[in-house]
Amino acid sequence: MKIPSRGFTFIEIIIYVAVLAVFSILVVDIILVLTESFGRFKTANRINSSAEVALERMVREIRLADDIDVSGSILNVSPGRLILKTIDPLTETTVQKEIFLAAAALTLQGDLSSPQSLTGSKVEATSLIFRLIETPLSKAIKIELELQSGEGNLQKSEKFYNTAILRRSYK
């Protein structure tokens, strides 16, 4: 009569350890891929949100402007500067608003107001170009904006474009 052996053989232990190692490597790899994907998604979302807010605000300010100070503005090169002239409805005086880059932040500043950043704190504006489009009937500004966010291999850069017509420039 043979006594049944208790425990595992050496071969069985090696097979179990190998299967466990392969399974562990797959799980760790999946976790790393998901973490990197989430980081890329977060960076892209941050850039897109910042661009949407910044472009919307710039377009609104341009549409409400009466004219552009072409001599004071920096057009067709980066970093650009756009100086808008508008009439304050309360005081009926001419007010200037400037849109420019300051320390990699897209900035809007009025005559008496403090500068407002139009981009998020973790987003850098790397390029800003304003192009004047003039017709006999109206004026428009084409905006070219490049934003960047993230660090290392999660760093992403994207370009955005928009055009706004000065509504009060119609003749």
| Residue 33 tokens, joined | 């891929």
How far apart CA 66 and CA 117 sit, in angstroms, is 23
Per-residue model confidence as pLDDT tens digits over 102-133:
888 899 988 777 888 888 888 999 999 999 99
Per-residue model confidence as pLDDT tens digits over 88-101:
778 888 889 999 99
Handedness of CA 131, 107, 49, 62 (dihedral sign): negative
What's the predicted TM-score (pTM) here? 0.77
